[in-house]
């Protein structure tokens, strides 16, 4: 991994340091290329001037960068230091935090200066105070403001490993969870987006979700999903966070089911717009991959109806997910009541239509499997769509 001083190329096209390849060829009398092990017919050595120029250019850039590597203080440096010192010395932090939020939002130079001054550590300490002073209004308000500053800071930061590590500590996670449950609409939005940052950084949810306070955590997220009035942006972010968590941890799905996720999503599904509908269906699909989730869906009075209504009515993505849900139900919970509901509510008719739309796909294969399992049962019902009986016969060919 050392820089070449005199790069040369041999007949095989590979470049080496001159003194090393000359030793290999002429001192050790080797007749092969060290990299490719090809036999060398010509021992001519050609200087690689292009690589030499690239190495020199890189060295010059590194030298210039090292001269300018000392951090440059922002124009707001003195004000930052003063505000951070004030916050550490007084219990009345709200006004200072509001000023700090405005300053941090000025740009990357101020944001970097804020980090070097230890600002992130100060914010995390303020947020953690909620664990010991949860009933104190002043402390709670300060925590909400600190969360806003931290959200502003993370918005300007792409990969801040140090901040992610600080927020991943148990006391930070518990504090964020409290704000998610009891904070204002804006504070909840900030908490959700910080949790999203943690999820994107591969935070291990196992201990927090399963052992600590997973039930309350999911209840808080589902409340945000259910109530757009709290904060529309928080509602959308909560859906995305649920997808991140449930997609990465099967055990977390059990906690979400216990918190009533299946029932809440089914009741929200009929009135959801396209974007939300696709996300909710994806969540239901993840939950239905557990036996408990499938049972919760079929036992809900609107479960099959809500799912069936979205088949072929929203988007190709939602249809694909809906078929997967119905396939899971038909494979593992095919009670007579469920099969009858699917027929009466039009699911069977839509599935038959799907067989004749587009080319062969994994979705169509699942539809074929559903009919292979239950078509004989459905044909016994008087409400079977007999105008499609010829279509249903084509499933034999697909099988």
Query: How far, in whole angstroms, is CA 88 from its chain's centroid?
Result: 34
Q: In what order do the strands lie in the sheet with 15-17?
A: 15-17, 7-9, 46-47
% residues pLDDT > 90 (the chain): 22
Q: What is the pLDDT of residue 242?
A: 93
pTM (2 d.p.) = 0.72
Please say if the pLDDT value at position 252 is more than 70. Answer: yes
Q: What is the pLDDT of residues 139-187, one digit of tens each?
A: 889 999 999 998 888 876 666 778 888 888 888 888 888 898 888 888 9
* Separation CA 329–CA 305 (nearest Å): 13
Q: What is the pLDDT of residue 230?
A: 63
* Long-range contacts, 13-16 (Cβ 8 Å, 24+): 15/48, 15/51
**Is residue 87 within 8 Å of residue 127, measured between CB atoms?**
no
Under the banding of pLDDT at 50, 70 and 90, the label for residue 113 is: confident
Residues 6+ apart with CB under 8 A from 2: none
Query: Mean pLDDT across the stretch 333-343?
Result: 87
Residues 6+ apart with CB under 8 A from 235: 224, 225, 227, 228
* Separation CA 321–CA 86 (nearest Å): 53
Residues in the chain: 399
Copy the structure tokens of residue 47. 């200087």
Nearest residue to 154 via CA among 122, 116, 108: 108
Q: Which of 127-131, 263-267, 375-379 has the lowest mean pLDDT?
A: 375-379
Q: What is the pLDDT of residue 398?
A: 42
Query: How far, in whole angstroms, is CA 118 from its chain's centroid?
Result: 28
Q: Helix crossing, 137-156 with 119-128: angle to 10°?
A: 140
**Is residue 378 within 8 Å of residue 348, measured between CB atoms?**
yes
The Cβ of residue 92 has, within 10 Å, a number of other Cβ atoms equal to 10
Q: What is the pLDDT of residues 211-243, one digit of tens each?
A: 666 788 899 999 999 887 667 788 888 999 999
Copy the structure tokens of residue 236. 């959308």
Q: What is the pLDDT of residue 397?
A: 45
**Is residue 153 within 8 Å of residue 163, measured between CB atoms?**
yes
Residues 6+ apart with CB under 8 A from 336: 377
* Separation CA 154–CA 290 (nearest Å): 35
* 77/230: higher pLDDT: 77
HSE value, Cβ hemisphere, 13 Å, CA-based, for 156: 19
**Which H or E element spans position 386?**
none
* 114/387: higher pLDDT: 114
Q: Which of 38-52, 63-77, 183-197 has the lowest mean pLDDT?
A: 63-77
* 184/132: higher pLDDT: 184
Helices (H), 201-270: 214-226, 232-248, 250-258, 261-268
**Is residue 311 within 8 Å of residue 284, measured between CB atoms?**
no
Residue that has been written with the tokens 């494979």 in this structure: 331
Copy the structure tokens of residue 136. 């104190």
Q: What is the pLDDT of residues 343-355, one digit of tens each?
A: 888 888 888 888 8
Beta bridge partners of 16: 8
Nearest residue to 207 via CA among 255, 136, 157: 255
* Separation CA 240–CA 198 (nearest Å): 13
């Amino acid at each position: 991994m050392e820089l070449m001083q005199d790069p040369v190329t041999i007949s095989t096209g590979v470049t080496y340091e001159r003194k090393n390849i000359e030793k290999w060829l002429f001192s050790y009398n080797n007749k092969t290329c060290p990299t490719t092990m090809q036999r060398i017919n010509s021992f001519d050595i050609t200087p690689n001037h292009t690589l030499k120029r690239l190495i020199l250019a890189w060295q010059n850039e590194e030298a210039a960068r090292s001269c300018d590597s000392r951090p440059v203080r922002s124009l707001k440096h003195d004000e930052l230091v003063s505000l951070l010192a004030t916050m550490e010395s007084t219990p009345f932090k709200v006004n200072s935090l509001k000023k700090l939020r405005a300053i941090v939002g000025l740009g990357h130079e101020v944001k970097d200066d804020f980090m070097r001054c230890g600002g992130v550590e100060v914010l995390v300490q303020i947020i953690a105070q909620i664990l010991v002073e949860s009933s104190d209004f002043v402390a709670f308000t300060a925590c909400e403001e600190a969360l806003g500053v931290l959200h502003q800071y993370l918005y300007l930061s792409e990969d801040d490993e140090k901040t992610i590590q600080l927020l991943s500590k148990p006391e930070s996670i518990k504090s964020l969870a409290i704000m998610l449950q009891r904070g204002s609409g804006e504070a909840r939005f900030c908490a959700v987006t910080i949790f999203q940052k943690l999820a994107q950084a591969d935070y291990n949810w196992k201990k927090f979700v399963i052992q600590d306070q997973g039930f309350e955590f999911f209840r808080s997220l589902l409340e945000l999903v259910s109530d757009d009035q709290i904060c529309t942006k928080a509602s959308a972010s909560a859906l995305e966070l649920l997808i991140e968590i449930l997609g990465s941890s099967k055990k977390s799905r059990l906690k979400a089911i216990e918190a009533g996720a299946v029932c809440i999503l089914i009741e929200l599904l009929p009135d959801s717009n396209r974007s939300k509908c696709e996300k909710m269906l994806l969540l239901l699909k993840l939950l239905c991959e557990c036996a408990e989730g499938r049972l919760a869906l079929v036992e809900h009075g609107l479960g099959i109806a809500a799912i069936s209504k979205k088949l072929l009515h929203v988007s190709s993505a939602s249809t694909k997910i809906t078929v997967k849900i119905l396939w899971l139900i038909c494979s593992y919970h095919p009670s007579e009541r469920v099969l009858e509901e699917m027929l009466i509510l039009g699911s069977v008719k839509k599935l038959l239509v799907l067989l004749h739309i587009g080319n062969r796909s994994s979705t169509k294969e699942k539809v074929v499997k559903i009919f292979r399992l239950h078509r004989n049962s459905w044909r016994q019902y008087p409400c079977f769509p007999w105008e499609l009986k010829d279509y249903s016969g084509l499933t034999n060919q697909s099988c």
